[in-house]
Amino acid sequence: MAEPLLQARAVTVRFGGLTAVDAVDAQFHAGELVGIIGPNGAGKTTFFNAISGVQPPTSGALLLGGRDLAGQGPHRFAALGVARTFQTPRVFGGLRVVDNVDFGLQFAGRGRTAVPALADAQTILALIGLSPQADLPASAVTPAQQRLLEIGMALATRPRLLLLDEVAAGLTEAEVEAMARLIGRLRGELGLAVVWIEHAVTTLLRHVERVLVLHQGRKIADGTPAEVTRNAEVIEAYLGDEVAA
């Protein structure tokens, strides 16, 4: 198998006496669609923060393009093709929707070769279905559209690896399914690796190819959705009978 885009080796994050992420190993390859699930407090977002440069790990290595970036800032990860969204969308409410995406282009995307779908702000808005809202202030669009806009801002940096943190939170069932289809389409059309944290577990399991399960900061499973839903430790720690076959 080809070298992973991103490899986490024994990544640990501690806050005082609390170990939020406990020696997690993971690797993500080009073109993969991977889900991360686990109960509240499992360490999912802290792990995302570590692998995107937001939170320096206490120990461990983060290899991106063969370089260990552990402890370096988010701009270094972005420069090497990592983009992410946050649980609460971080958009510029006073700017037009199209200007939010253009900010992403100016921030990190201009120097990178773009596929046609990411050529400019208007084509990115068309890709994510926000062209009709282009001239509205970001504060004036719906919460679901703000989540799409944040994905558009991330895509504007022209990433190779897209990290999505609960992009379905607060959405209706129909909006969650539409979001999942969009994520699959972005992966396919842009050749992205996508790693997706989500509480909407049944939706996520239908759409991803591989699942990592975190529990109390540890990785307790890494496999296909079918394998993970049959894993006794995962069922006991998290899934219960909800999606167990």
Confidence of residue 104 (pLDDT cuts 50, 70, 90): confident
Do 21 and 8 form a contact (C-beta atoms < 8 A)?
Answer: no
Instruction: Output the average pLDDT for the chain.
Output: 91
**194: which DSSP letter?**
E
Do 160 and 114 form a contact (C-beta atoms < 8 A)?
Answer: no
At residue 209, the 3 state secondary structure works out as coil
Q: Are residues 15 and 127 in the same domain?
A: no
* pLDDT at 108 (0 to 100): 62
* pLDDT at 5 (0 to 100): 93
Q: Are residues 128 and 234 in the same domain?
A: no
Q: For residue 179, is it within any domain?
A: no
pLDDT tens, position by position, 47-65: 999 999 999 999 999 999 8
Q: Are residues 210 and 234 in the same domain?
A: yes
Q: Which residue has the higher pLDDT, 40 or 23?
A: 23
Q: Which domain holds residue 103?
A: 82-159
Do 67 and 52 form a contact (C-beta atoms < 8 A)?
Answer: no
Average pLDDT for residues 21-37, to the nearest whole number? 96
Contacts of 229 by beta carbon, 8 Å cutoff, 6+ apart: 205, 235, 239, 243, 244, 245
Structure pTM?
0.92
pLDDT tens, position by position, 146-183: 999 999 999 999 999 999 999 988 888 899 999 999 99
Average pLDDT for residues 25-51, to the nearest whole number? 94
Do 208 and 34 form a contact (C-beta atoms < 8 A)?
Answer: yes
**H/E stretch holding 183:** helix 173-190
Answer whether residue 17 shows pLDDT above 80.
Answer: yes
* pLDDT at 237 (0 to 100): 81
- CATH number of residue 213's parent domain: 3.40.50.300
Average pLDDT for residues 3-16, to the nearest whole number? 95
Q: Are residues 70 and 45 in the same domain?
A: yes
The CA distance from 127 to 47, in Å, is 29
* pLDDT at 244 (0 to 100): 42
The CA distance from 158 to 115, in Å, is 9
Q: For residue 187, is it within any domain?
A: no
Q: Are residues 46 and 167 in the same domain?
A: yes
Q: DSSP secondary structure string, 32-89?
A: -EEEEE--TTSSHHHHHHHHTTSS--SEEEEEETTEE-TT--HHHHHHTTEEE--SS-
